[in-house]
Amino acid sequence: MHTVHVAWSDALTGYDFGHGHPLNPVRVDLTIRLARALGVLDGDGVHVEVPEPADDATLRTVHTPGYLDAVKAASIDPSTVDLVHGLGTTDDPCFAGMHDASALVAGGTVAAARAVWEGRARHGVNVAGGLHHAMPSSASGFCVYNDPALGIRALLDAGAERVAYVDVDVHHGDGVQAVFYDDPRVLTISLHESPRTLFPGTGFPSETGGPGAEGSAVNVALPPGTGDAGWLRAFHAVVPPLLRAWQPQVLFTQHGCDSHVDDPLAHLALTLDGQLESYRVLHDLAHELCDGRWVATGGGGYALIDVVPRAWTHLLAIAAERPIDPATETPSAWRTHVQARYHHTAPRRMTDGGTPAYADWSSGYDPASSLDRAIHATRLAVFPSHALDPTY
């Protein structure tokens, strides 16, 4: 068994909405370059596999046939504006080859999920994945095909009966929640900036799952400006107790790093060090609860050079059981490449110098704190469904 199955091919950078679009594939290219320069992808335990595009039968397990036809048509004629299917908008402009590029991302995530479920790898990672906003019949929020939902569906179709999905992107994981809202086999947990201040405008604590699946959707809506201490307080107050109560067979996680203080599209204030702490905890929970079965993807993240490559290199390193000391210097060859290619001075270390300390929920609830009110609202909404006390 491999330690980690990594889905990667340079062709994954073909998921590209064009010049000026925030979702620039340079971020995944620089991630893999940094991971390779640090030796993260070396060794027998790391299996890097070139993905195959998801076929139509796989895509139809989440997406409607009409939507697939619309994406294929728009791939041939990128001037298409198809608002019914969310195509040709500012967020999701059409581009030549869009279907093939999107299917390749989806195929990478599905292959990683299958490798984990079949016991060929302990962990699976697709840093190009995490396109969690796509709906069954429409594109949304830079996402064409919803690869996390497709990966989870592949796990269910292979026999998994309890899958937990944890989404730490700054934006609500609305597409994944929508796909599985009525499915009691899937627990979705999303920690995100409040929908009152950020796209997509959903992810309130009151969204808790459909009939027969009550308590299977969990949303922590955090106030703008929340930093490491507050975010980790919320994470630890909600995620570990729910996962321990749920007892999943597989942990599937989405690691958008747009919660970072330097991200230009959102308003949380985490450091790389706070994000790294969540990766460590999720890895450990996968081993505690799922015999190590863990599938992880990338997601949002628009500080293309300063944040994303370091964050997801840490994610890859943890999945490879080769964690990187945050004090490690980024390789000079990588920094030189960044300077020469992008005329940008790259970060020198794998840390922001943050201290991921937080006050545990057991220290007490402060009703005067907007953060604590947000945490408390989530616990009140879903903890009783899992026979958990929302107060302590």
Residues belonging to the active site = 133
Residue 377, CB-side half-sphere exposure with 13 Å CA sphere: 18
Q: Which contiguous run of DSSP H or E holds residue 243?
A: helix 228-246
239 and 218 Cβ atoms separated by less than 8 Å: no
Among 319, 330, 379, 241, which Cα is nearest to 6's? 319
Would you list the DSSP string of 167-199? E-SSS--HHHHHHHTT-TTEEEEEEEE-TTTST
Helices 147-157 and 98-117 pack at an angle, to 10 degrees, of 40
As a whole number of angstroms, the distance between CA 127 and CA 255 comes to: 9
As a whole number of angstroms, the distance between CA 84 and CA 64 comes to: 13
As a whole number of angstroms, the distance between CA 328 and CA 335 comes to: 14
As a whole number of angstroms, the distance between CA 308 and CA 243 comes to: 27
- In the block, tokens 């201490």 appear at 229
As a whole number of angstroms, the distance between CA 93 and CA 268 comes to: 27
Retrieve residue 161's tokens. Answer: 């009966």
Helices 308-319 and 26-37 pack at an angle, to 10 degrees, of 50
Among 138, 202, 136, which Cα is nearest to 167's? 202
Retrieve residue 313's tokens. Answer: 């290199």
Secondary-structure breakdown of the chain: helix, strand, coil percentages, each rounded to the nearest 5:
40, 15, 45
